[in-house]
Chains A and B, each alone.
Chain A
Amino acid sequence: VENVRLLDRLSSRKAALGTLYLTATHVIFVENVSETRKETWVLHSQISSIEKQATTATGCPLLIRCKNFQVIQLVIPQERDCHDVYISLIRLARPVKYEELYCFSFNPKLDKEEREQGWKLVDLNEEYNRMGIPNNYWQISDINRDYGVCDSYPTELYVPKSATAHIIVGSSKFRSRRRFPALSYYCKDNNASICRSSQPLSGFSARCLEDEQMLQAIRKANPGSDFIYVVDTRPKLNAMANRAAGKGYENEDNYSNIKFQFIGIENIHVMRNSLQKMLEVCELKSPSMSDFLWGLENSGWLKHIKAIMDAGIFIAKAVAEEGVSVLVHCSDGWDRTAQVCSVASLLLDPYYRTMKGFMVLVEKDWVSFGHKFNHRYGNLDGDPKEISPVMDQFIECVWQLMEQFPCAFEFNERFLIHIQHHIYSCQFGNFLCNSQKERRELKIQERTYSLWAHLWKNHANYLNPLYRSDHGQTQGTLRPQMAPCNFLYKFWSGMYNRFEKGLHPRQSVTDYLMAVKEETQQLEEELEVLGERLANLQKSQLNDNKVKSKQQDRSKQLGLSTSDNSLANTPQEYSNDLKSFPSRSPSQGDEEDSALILTQDNLKSSDPDLSANSDQESGVEDLSCRSPSGGGCLPSEDSGKDSDEAVYLAV
């Protein structure tokens, strides 16, 4: 469709004229301006809603909201075209078969072997071995090998040694969707563990001997403690209501030596509405400070984030400080339970705060334990009431922790944002379907690529420059402040307003430091080369003494640099990576790319050989695209006298 206008959300006056293309996988908007021909690419799977608004004199407006929080406003001149686009997009954004998803057509030009290598990057057996399992207390169980006991669990599960097949099967029959207690995390140092399950089918009075034995077995697997915590992550009221449906929670009288604890995290419907409300606030046009803060408070979003964090902190404390094992469940044990277990693991174990470890953590607590990615993130057309930002919340929890512990994580904010993007993008197979069983049936590993391999390949891009594996903050358990420090939880504009660059800090400390580290790396290399040349020269001048001292000097330098070696990355690789940013087709100067290019400008500016002014241009550009013509903000430079009038009148 030609002569379409792409509106700038902040300024209705600024609009780009261009052509809209629909392909099998993307919506593409290409600007008419001949030199730049700026392109905006949106994956169909990212589209969360399309709204056709009332036709105006200028055309027919179409509003596309994306799951990665991008909002695109188009005006199409002809009503009929607009309707066609609308109908097509509705169909394209809601595929009914997995085969329609992008990952089945996405081809990053890797051969079969590379693809297989990619899928092997994260190996959960290896992870349990790392934790020290199997050992005297825990063993691997193949009871679910054909998904015979529980179809949403993986085939390989870790259970207490004393839990016999009879106990497991019995317990599974007493748990919602047969999700019996299984090991999520084991703490080598004190034998305390985190197990997870779904709610028991206790109703008002039912009990199950095998389930009680199962919990007993978990307790016995930690000989240092004479009780276990059972944490129900639901609000008490919700759990009680479940009893009427024959479900519910553990009765402390029936289970010996458990301490039962409610931690009120709201359900997926509350969370969905909360996000909705917060996004409405983010979308406000030139809101006042009060509008924004009120809206944020009313959405309850940060309160929910805090509830999840508090639950994770409680569990981490029980495991690390009290040495007590914990069984966590909610209703089905695949949403709140996944959030809470993974937050607790992240707090407990520094490994999960590395890039590789984080991939393992997501694979362990989310992918393998049957978090329903397809339903929650609406990959295929389904029940809108199943959609909920469960994983988004977990990712935000990680970000909030990164803000409080800036040196503790090996990865940076960009890593989290890209993972969030790919939960929805369906470009890689990792997050497809609702369970391991479904993924195996679809032969995902043979037909699609793994996100982890892709992220790992570009891992220099995702490093936190402040991370050092030998730093005090990296070691041991993280102990965040509990209540009443609510002010520690902040609005994440880098995520929820990520496409409005004008709102973000114009210079990124992370990128600056990454550039400095990169330069440091080059200097180290140069130092080595120079040292060698010097040594050769000196040798030729038969100056033995000097050679020795120089070499010593050099080896000292290298010793210092070992922790930075993983950073070895040349600017060329960096820009290659830019181009392969997955959400859009290569070489398109769309928003995301230009954001990264901007950071590259910053990188350059730290290079003494290049003009320090390279980020000047971008700063100015930013201003013009940010400047709204509405009141409260600055009039834009090219908005002319009229818009100035508007501003001043509005004041």
Chain B
Amino acid sequence: MEFAELIKTPRADNVVLHRPFYLAVEGTLCLTGHHLIFSSRRQDNAEELWLLHSNIDSIEKRFVGSLGTIIIKCKDLRIIQLDIPGMEECLNIASSIETLSTLDSVTLMYPFFYRPMFEIVEDGWRSFLPDQEFELLSSVTDEWRLSCINKEFSVCPSYPPVVVVPKSIDDEALRKVAMFRHGSRFPVLSYYHKKNGMVMMRSSQPLTGTNGRRCKEDEKLINATLRPGKRGYIIDTRSLNVAQQARAKGGGFEQEAHYPQWRRIHKCIERFNILQESLIKLVEACNDQSHNMDRWLSKLEASNWLTHIKEILTAACLAAQCIDREGASVLVHGTEGTDSTLQVTSLAQIILDPRCRTIRGFESLVVREWLQAGHPFQQRCAQSAYSNSKQKWEAPVFLLFLDCVWQILRQFPCSFEFNEQFLIMLFEHAYASQFGTFLGNNENERSKLKLPQKTMSLWSWVNRSEELSKFQNPLFEANSLVIWPSVAPQSLQLWEGVFLRWNRPSKFLDEAHEEMINIIKYNKELQAKVNALRRQLAEMETDDRMQENL
């Protein structure tokens, strides 16, 4: 298929672009296979707007006489309006955009066409390989091994080829355990807490069914992570009720009788369409331009978004607390183990592990706990808050995770190497990107699509000093401690950087940020100067003394 066939009107002049907080601009609109490009050649401020078609969530058209208006709502929550003279042009453009923004085939997506304009210093596809991660682990403990049991994705289609499992459990046993877990997602190591040797594992639900099936190998596997005489905690991200209902469909939860050394805790983290509805309601409330908005807080409340944030954070804090304070190992799972499970395990690591609060460490966390762990990005992030197509597998699971990270960042503004922009950037790229990183639903699909060969990795772009400097937190001071966030409602806030990004003036906040950077920069310069002077003085004084001695 040629993109040209889909573009009947590739160019329209005298188009007027409207955005909140900007004056309307007149210019030329061009459509290409992957972009909508608006350029204005006004003398005083020539500007260009490039919008990926895949960033477009929904499009509406209106006509007044022969003047057509297209309202474009993007997955990054921005809304722009284009006034296009000429009914036919407008209709053509609208239908092209509609088709191009909803292409089915992954291989037609922009990452397969994108040619980087920057020098590749480090191939991001090879930046976070499991063996490197395992090396870090094996330097502190020898109780774990890398298993290649899933080499051909034959045991578990949503797992990566290599996983970390207890040394004492052989691949044969793993195969049996995989049969006993939903989607074959057997328990694997998620995090090793160096401070006390406790671990966090994750899996999917056990397939106990209504007649209480058990699997000795499964019990053996998770018991292998316990210290003698110690107990562990199983954090089930579903309510007890939901977990019990799952038994009717063959799923279930670990029975006390078969797992006597484990205490099960149920936490209720919502999934799928409940989260999607919540996002839609929240964005609706944030975009409400009616002047009678004194019900803002109740709309915020009705969206339940912050309730989800609170639930997820609470579960993650609990997991972290079991590990760090109770000195117990933890197993986390929900139903499939690809959504709420990953929210909990990754947030717990941010709380516990200072490395995850660095840029590199956070990238590695996203790779390990989201991409390799098989969070189905393509299903979850196909549409955002404005889409009319309500697919049941769409859900802002990753956005909720990023929001939770932002909440912790807000409470510990000096403990993270990255800033809010870094999180916003990840949100954008998860939904629409020129890079292949977030394409596909798991490693299996990614390898079939040959993404590492055919597309560029987001990390190749981010990890260059030009880009990194934008994402660095000037306040960062390495903090080697566990950081315990507050989950009280008073402590949780709406993430304005994402949800009010396009509807609030940010000039003054940006200026404040700049001022902050300047203060710290000036301080660093002075420090360098003082150190240089000190050195110079020391040298001269030694010279002096030497001369005197002579």
Contacts of A524 in B (CB 8 A): 526
Q: How far is the CB of A611 from chain B (nearest CB, A)?
A: 11
Contact mask for chain B residues 395-437; partner A; CB cutoff 8 A; 1 contact, 0 none:
0000000000000001111110000000000000000000000
B487's partner among A472, A483, A509, A632 (CB-CB below 8 A) is A632
Contacts of A485 in B (CB 8 A): 503-504
B298's partner among A297, A517, A612 (CB-CB below 8 A) is A297
Considering only CB atoms, which chain A residue lies closest to B496 in the complex? Answer: A487
From known contacts A466-B512, A616-B479, infer whether A516 and B484 are also in contact, taking CB-CB under 8 Å: no
From known contacts A537-B540, A619-B484, A634-B317, infer whether A520 and B522 are also in contact, taking CB-CB under 8 Å: yes
Contact A289 B527 (CB under 8 A): no
Contact mask for chain B residues 455-483; partner A; CB cutoff 8 A; 1 contact, 0 none:
00000000000000000000101111101
Contact B491 A504 (CB under 8 A): yes
B534 within 8 A of partner (CB): yes
From known contacts A297-B295, A503-B488, A534-B540, infer whether A490 and B493 are also in contact, taking CB-CB under 8 Å: yes
Q: How far is the CB of A230 from chain B (nearest CB, A)?
A: 24
Contact mask for chain B residues 291-317; partner A; CB cutoff 8 A; 1 contact, 0 none:
111111110110010110110001001
Contact mask for chain B residues 358-394; partner A; CB cutoff 8 A; 1 contact, 0 none:
0000000000000000000000000000000000000
Contacts of A619 in B (CB 8 A): 481, 483-484
Contact B541 A537 (CB under 8 A): yes
Contacts of B300 in A (CB 8 A): 293, 487
> CA–CA, A465 to B292, complex, Å?
37
Contact A612 B483 (CB under 8 A): no
Q: Which has the most chain B C-beta neighbours within 10 Å: A302, A486, A506, A626?
A: A506
> CA–CA, A533 to B520, complex, Å?
27
A406's partner among B412, B509, B520 (CB-CB below 8 A) is B509
Contact A530 B537 (CB under 8 A): yes
Contact B414 A623 (CB under 8 A): no
Contact A488 B512 (CB under 8 A): no
Contact mask for chain A residues 479-522; partner B; CB cutoff 8 A; 1 contact, 0 none:
00101111110110100010010111111110011001101100
Contact mask for chain B residues 248-272; partner A; CB cutoff 8 A; 1 contact, 0 none:
0000000000000001011110000
Contact B530 A626 (CB under 8 A): no
Considering only CB atoms, which chain B residue lies closest to A478 in the complex? Answer: B508
Within 8 A of B (CB), among A582-632: 602, 605-606, 612-613, 615-616, 619-620, 622-623, 626, 632
Considering only CB atoms, which chain B residue lies closest to A616 in the complex? Answer: B481
A203 within 8 A of partner (CB): no
Q: How far is the CB of B319 from chain A (nearest CB, A)?
A: 10
Contact A502 B317 (CB under 8 A): no
A569 within 8 A of partner (CB): no
A/B pair count, beta carbons within 8 Å: 210
A137 within 8 A of partner (CB): no
A519's partner among B325, B326, B485, B523 (CB-CB below 8 A) is B523
A290's partner among B268, B301, B484, B541 (CB-CB below 8 A) is B301
Contact A471 B515 (CB under 8 A): yes
A54 within 8 A of partner (CB): no
Contact B511 A471 (CB under 8 A): yes
A21 within 8 A of partner (CB): no
Q: Which has the most chain B C-beta neighbours within 10 Å: A468, A486, A538?
A: A486
Contacts of A632 in B (CB 8 A): 310, 314, 487
B516's partner among A291, A513, A557 (CB-CB below 8 A) is A513
Contact B263 A648 (CB under 8 A): yes
Contacts of A502 in B (CB 8 A): 486, 488
A132 within 8 A of partner (CB): no
From known contacts A509-B475, A523-B526, A637-B325, infer whether A620 and B481 are also in contact, taking CB-CB under 8 Å: yes
> CA–CA, A651 to B516, complex, Å?
42
Contact mask for chain B residues 490-520; partner A; CB cutoff 8 A; 1 contact, 0 none:
1111101000100111001101100110011
B321 within 8 A of partner (CB): yes
B484's partner among A481, A519, A540, A623 (CB-CB below 8 A) is A623
B194 within 8 A of partner (CB): no
Contacts of B170 in A (CB 8 A): none
Contacts of A291 in B (CB 8 A): 489
Q: Which has the most chain B C-beta neighbours within 10 Å: A471, A505, A622?
A: A505
> CA–CA, A490 to B410, complex, Å?
15
List the one stretch of B111-119, B177-185, B196-204, B282-290 in contact with chain A. B282-290
> CA–CA, A644 to B493, complex, Å?
28
Contact A289 B310 (CB under 8 A): yes
Contacts of B297 in A (CB 8 A): 293-294, 296-297, 302
Contact B489 A288 (CB under 8 A): yes
Contact B537 A613 (CB under 8 A): no
Q: How many of chain B's residues touch chain A, expressed as a range?
A: 35 or more
Within 8 A of B (CB), among A434-487: 465-466, 468, 471-473, 481, 483-487
> CA–CA, A513 to B301, complex, Å?
34
Considering only CB atoms, which chain B residue lies closest to A479 in the complex? Answer: B505
Q: How far is the CB of A641 from chain B (nearest CB, A)?
A: 9
B66 within 8 A of partner (CB): no
Q: Which has the most chain B C-beta neighbours within 10 Å: A493, A523, A526?
A: A523
A124 within 8 A of partner (CB): no
A512's partner among B301, B475, B533 (CB-CB below 8 A) is B475
Considering only CB atoms, which chain A residue lies closest to B314 in the complex? Answer: A632
A651's partner among B267, B286, B537 (CB-CB below 8 A) is B267
From known contacts A481-B504, A533-B537, A605-B477, infer whether A527 and B530 are also in contact, taking CB-CB under 8 Å: yes
A404 within 8 A of partner (CB): yes
Contacts of A537 in B (CB 8 A): 537, 540-541, 544
Contact A512 B414 (CB under 8 A): yes
B220 within 8 A of partner (CB): no
Contact B508 A507 (CB under 8 A): no
Contacts of B511 in A (CB 8 A): 406-407, 471-473
Contacts of B87 in A (CB 8 A): none
B453 within 8 A of partner (CB): no
Contacts of A635 in B (CB 8 A): 321
Contact B508 A405 (CB under 8 A): yes
B138 within 8 A of partner (CB): no
Contact B484 A634 (CB under 8 A): yes
B151 within 8 A of partner (CB): no
From known contacts A289-B492, A291-B489, A487-B500, infer whether A505 and B410 are also in contact, taking CB-CB under 8 Å: yes
> CA–CA, A249 to B514, complex, Å?
48
Contact mask for chain A residues 369-411; partner B; CB cutoff 8 A; 1 contact, 0 none:
0000000000000000000000000000000000011111000
B529 within 8 A of partner (CB): yes
B536 within 8 A of partner (CB): yes
Q: How far is the CB of A394 from chain B (nearest CB, A)?
A: 21
Contact B523 A503 (CB under 8 A): no
Q: How far is the CB of A290 from chain B (nearest CB, A)?
A: 5
> CA–CA, A620 to B483, complex, Å?
8
Contacts of A294 in B (CB 8 A): 297-298, 301
Q: Which has the most chain B C-beta neighbours within 10 Å: A282, A293, A472?
A: A293
List 27 contacting pairs A-B, 8 Å CB cutoff, sorted by A: A289-B309, A289-B489, A294-B298, A306-B294, A466-B516, A471-B511, A473-B511, A483-B291, A484-B288, A484-B292, A487-B494, A487-B496, A500-B490, A505-B411, A507-B412, A507-B413, A509-B414, A516-B520, A523-B529, A530-B530, A538-B540, A616-B479, A626-B486, A633-B314, A634-B314, A635-B321, A651-B265
Residues of A within 8 A of B (CB): 282, 286-294, 296-297, 302-303, 306, 404-408, 465-466, 468, 471-473, 481, 483-488, 490-491, 493, 497, 500, 502-509, 512-513, 516-517, 519-520, 523-524, 526-527, 530-531, 533-534, 537-538, 540-541, 557, 560, 602, 605-606, 612-613, 615-616, 619-620, 622-623, 626, 632-635, 637, 644, 648, 651
Residues of B within 8 A of A (CB): 263, 265-268, 286, 288-298, 300-301, 304, 306-307, 309-310, 314, 317-318, 321, 325-326, 410-415, 475, 477-481, 483-494, 496, 500, 503-505, 508-509, 511-512, 515-516, 519-520, 522-523, 526-527, 529-530, 533-534, 536-537, 540-541, 544
Starting from the known contacts A481-B505, A484-B289, A516-B523, 10 additional A-B residue pairs (CB-CB under 8 Å) come to: A290-B307, A297-B297, A466-B516, A466-B519, A502-B488, A503-B490, A520-B522, A527-B529, A527-B533, A626-B484
